[in-house]
């Protein structure tokens, strides 16, 4: 009887296990098939956008929970070279800000930094033009980009290639005569200067250099063995070749210098696989294996949107600490993009779904940054189970065409010169037949000057403090403005002289 019960019981357990195994296999198979279909759709979307935007190469990683579920390289890591691997290093641009914010929060949890303490507690020498504003600015203001420091101050620093160890501090001390664009704490304004100052605060609070701190407390614990603070080391380990867009077409840019003083705001280097490990830790309470790099509460504070930001009057969410906070439909989204002169990046987390994605591009341009960000946003939407939406700011879709349109300016200028010379010749003969029509002819002759004067105005930004940034991040615009603007000035003078001669003949009896 006992044997019978044992046999029947064993058979029952066996049947139950077989059914459970079958159900689990079906569920796992369905999930794998569903994931594969989702990844195939994402891959196809990326490939389509690469063709449309002439992107040379992309490295992508997707995480779900604590697993890296999809790694893919597209295109070429360098001209006529190999497809990017998951370990290929890329500059990550302003994704660096999330690392800097994480480092600050680590030091907050270690009791070494107070978020609401004034910047001057850690950097006693720090000043801007207004002494009161200098004393009011806090660490939190820097993290939330509500300090009042202008965008332009950070752009100017990006064109400063001082590579001495104290470059960041020297540039920060140069802010002593800077006039803030708004009162401290009043509104969001994106500026690399905020995060360069945070890099110095990390050094002051930890007693380590920024580069050493990031390596020791973030890269090493997360096994980010293909991530670097030094471009020289990254090049020795297969750094992808960056490209600059000229008129919406990418050209290899092998010798662009690195602004060492802006390391804390946008000059870290990493790979798709390493960034996947980073995202996994952020999605899992700060844990990577048995190591915790930050508490769950600390991560929530980094991702909490507090400062509203908008473009062209269109609200685009909020800024937290090194992250933008928004949503895709009803799904929470935290994300950031990155731009250097020759690399771009996009990283997004879907905390409620425990999913994340990073895309690293080896081409960039100031005006192409929002376009490449939309590519990343499309991938994030697909990962969230939705379809990519049209650009939030409609002008984004027109940017590649506008950049190609710059090539029309010199063509139109030459056509205008030929047309104006013909007009002057015609009017010269016309005024000889109708000598009293000079006033009307004068207005008619001077009207062609207007478009030339408008083109000449494009020279003005190249004469200001941002000229170095413009040459790096908008080389096509800069050269078009320089050549065509200069031509317009010279031609305007020549045209005026010729027109005055015609008018003088018209006025003479």
Question: Do 367 and 481 fall within a single domain?
Answer: no
pTM given for the model:
0.88
Cβ-proximal residues to 46 (8 Å cutoff; 6+ apart), any chain: 58, 60, 72, 74, 359, 375, 379
Per 3-state DSSP, what percentage of the chain is helix, strand, and coil (rounded to 5)? 55, 15, 30
> Which of 236, 214, 234, 1 lies closest to 102, judged by CA?
214
Q: Give me the mean pLDDT over the 417-426 stretch.
A: 75
Cα-trace Rg, the chain: 29
Q: Which residue has the tokens 């987390």?
A: 349
Q: Looking at the predicted structure, is the pLDDT value of residue 27 above 60? A: no
> What is the rounded average pLDDT of the residues 479-488?
85
Give me the sign of the Cα torsion angle 180, 184, 189, 195.
positive
- Quick one: 330 and 462 in the same domain? no
User: Is residue 392 located within the same domain as residue 497?
Assistant: no
Contacts of 493 (CB under 8 A, 6+ apart): none
Tokens describing residue 229: 């603070």
Instruction: In whole angstroms, give the CA distance from residue 156 to residue 454.
Output: 25
Q: Is 429 part of a structural domain of the chain?
A: yes
Query: Is the domain of 115 the same as that of 162?
Result: yes
- Read off the tokens for 110: 């270690």
Stronger pLDDT, 462 or 431, i.e. the higher one: 462
Of the residues 403, 436, 463, the one at which a domain ends: 403
The torsion angles phi and psi of 207, rounded to 5 degrees, stand at 75, 10
Q: What is the pLDDT of residue 443?
A: 58
Question: 243-246 and 67-75 as β-strands: parallel, antiparallel, unpaired?
Answer: unpaired
Region of 387 (left: φ > 0; alpha: ψ -120 to 50; beta: rest) is beta
Which domain, by its residues, includes 150? 54-403
End residue of a domain, out of 343, 369, 403: 403
Let me know whether 285 and 414 are in one domain.
Answer: no
Q: Is the pLDDT of residue 390 over 50?
A: yes
| pLDDT band for position 436 (cuts 50, 70, 90) | very low
Mean pLDDT (the chain, rounded): 88
Token couple for 260: 């060492």
| Nearest to 325, CA basis, from 349, 298, 359 | 349
Among 349, 374, 403, residue at a domain's last position: 403
> CB-side exposure of 29: number of CA atoms within 13 Å?
6
User: Using CA atoms, how far apart are residues 8 and 56, in angstroms rounded to an integer?
Assistant: 65
Q: Does residue 216 surpass a pLDDT of 80?
A: yes
Q: Provide the pLDDT for residue 490.
A: 82
- Has residue 6 been placed in a domain? no
The answer to whether residues 156 and 289 belong to one domain is yes
Alpha carbons 133 and 141: distance in angstroms, whole number: 12
Over range 152-168, report the average pLDDT.
96
Q: Which of 167-171, 219-223, 462-466 bottoms out in mean pLDDT, i.e. has the lowest?
A: 462-466
| 5 located within any domain | no
Question: Do 466 and 384 share a structural domain?
Answer: no
Asked whether residue 221 carries a pLDDT value surpassing 90, the answer given is yes
Give the lowest-confidence range in 171-175, 263-267, 285-289, 443-447. 443-447
- Tell me, yes or no, whether 120 lies in a domain: yes
Paired tokens of 237: 């380990």
Both 278 and 336 in a single domain? yes
26, part of any domain: no
CB atoms within 10 A of CB 332: 16
pLDDT of residue 427: 61
Residue 42 inside a domain? The answer is no
Specify the pLDDT at position 295: 98
Give the pLDDT confidence score for residue 399 in this predicted structure: 94
Mean pLDDT, residues 411-417 taken together: 82
Q: Is residue 221 part of a domain?
A: yes
How far, in Å, CA of 275 to CA of 335, rounded?
Answer: 13
Query: Is the pLDDT higher at 163 or at 450?
Result: 163
CA 75 from centre of chain: 21
pLDDT 10s digits, 46-105: 999 999 999 999 999 999 999 999 999 999 999 988 999 999 999 999 999 999 999 999
- CATH label of the domain that carries residue 262: 3.40.710.10
H-assigned helices in 224-343: 231-236, 263-266, 272-283, 296-303
Decide: helix, strand or coil at residue 172. helix
Q: Are residues 281 and 346 in the same domain?
A: yes
Mean pLDDT of 423-447: 57
24 in any annotated domain: no
Do 75 and 177 have their domain in common? yes
Within 13 Å of residue 106, how many CA atoms lie on the same side as its CB? 21
357 strand-pairing partners: 62, 348
Instruction: Kindly give the pairing relationship between strand 249-252 and strand 269-270.
Output: unpaired
C-alpha 333: how far from chain center: 17
Instruction: Among 80-84, 126-130, 442-446, 481-485, name the most confident range.
Output: 126-130
DSSP state string for 232-259: HHHHHTTPPPPEEEETTEEEE-TT----
- My answer on whether 334 and 453 are in the same domain is no
**For 158-175, what is the mean pLDDT?**
96
Q: Which residues on neighbouring strands pair with residue 308, listed in sequence order?
A: 318
* pLDDT of the residue at 28: 37
Q: Give the residue-averaged pLDDT of 181-210.
A: 97
DSSP letter (8 states) at residue 179: P
Question: What is residue 216's DSSP assignment?
Answer: I
Residues 296 and 155 in one domain: yes
Asked whether residue 5 carries a pLDDT value surpassing 50, the answer given is no
Contact 364, 242 (CB under 8 A): yes
**Total structural domains within the chain:** 2
Per-residue pLDDT tens for 134-150? 999 999 999 999 999 99
């Amino acid at each position: 009887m006992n044997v019978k019960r044992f046999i029947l019981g064993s058979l029952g357990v066996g049947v139950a296990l077989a059914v459970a195994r079958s159900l689990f296999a079906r569920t796992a198979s369905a999930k794998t098939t569903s994931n594969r279909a989702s990844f195939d759709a994402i891959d196809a979307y990326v490939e389509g956008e690469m063709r449309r935007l002439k992107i040379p190469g992309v490295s992508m990683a997707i995480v779900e929970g604590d697993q890296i579920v999809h790694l893919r390289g597209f295109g070429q890591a360098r001209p006529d070279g190999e497809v990017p691997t998951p370990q290929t290093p890329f500059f990550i641009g302003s994704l660096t800000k999330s690392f800097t914010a994480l480092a600050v929060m680590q030091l907050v949890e270690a009791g070494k930094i107070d978020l609401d303490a004034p910047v001057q507690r850690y950097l006693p020498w720090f000043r801007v033009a207004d002494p009161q504003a200098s004393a009011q600015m806090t660490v939190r203001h820097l993290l939330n980009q509500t300090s009042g420091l202008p965008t332009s101050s950070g752009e100017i620093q990006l064109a400063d290639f001082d590579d001495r160890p104290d470059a960041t501090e020297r540039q920060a001390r140069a802010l002593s005569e800077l006039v803030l664009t708004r009162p401290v704490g009043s509104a969001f304004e994106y500026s690399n200067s905020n995060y360069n100052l945070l890099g110095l605060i990390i050094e002051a609070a930890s007693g380590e250099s920024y580069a050493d701190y990031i390596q020791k407390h973030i890269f090493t614990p997360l096994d980010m063995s293909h991530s670097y603070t030094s471009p020289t080391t990254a090049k020795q380990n297969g750094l992808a070749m960056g490209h600059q867009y000229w008129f919406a077409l990418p050209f290899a840019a092998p010798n662009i210098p690195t602004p060492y003083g802006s390391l804390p705001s946008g000059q870290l280097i990493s790979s798709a696989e390493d960034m996947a490990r980073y995202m996994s830790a952020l999605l899992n309470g700060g844990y990577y294996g048995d190591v915790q790099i930050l508490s769950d509460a600390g991560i929530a504070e980094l991702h909490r949107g507090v400062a509203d930001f908008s473009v062209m009057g269109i609200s685009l969410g909020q800024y937290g600490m090194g992250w933008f906070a928004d949503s895709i439909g009803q799904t929470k989204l935290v994300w950031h993009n990155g731009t250097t002169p020759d690399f771009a990046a996009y990283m997004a987390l879907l905390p409620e779904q425990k999913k994340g994605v990073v895309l690293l591009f080896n081409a960039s341009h100031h005006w192409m940054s929002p376009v490449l960000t939309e590519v990343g946003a499309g991938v994030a939407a697909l990962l969230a189970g939705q379809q990519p939406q049209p650009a939030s700011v409609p002008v984004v879709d027109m940017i590649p065409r506008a950049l190609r349109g710059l090539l029309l300016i010199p063509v139109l200028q030459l056509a205008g010169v030929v047309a104006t010379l013909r007009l002057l010749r015609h009017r010269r003969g016309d005024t000889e037949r109708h000598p009293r029509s000079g006033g009307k002819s004068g207005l008619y002759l001077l009207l062609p000057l207007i478009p030339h004067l408008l083109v000449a105005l494009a020279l003005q930004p190249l004469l200001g403090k941002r000229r170095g940034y413009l040459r790096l991040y908008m080389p096509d615009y800069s050269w078009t403005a320089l050549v065509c603007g200069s031509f317009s000035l010279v031609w305007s003078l020549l045209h005026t002289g010729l027109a005055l001669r015609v008018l003088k003949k018209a006025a003479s009896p």
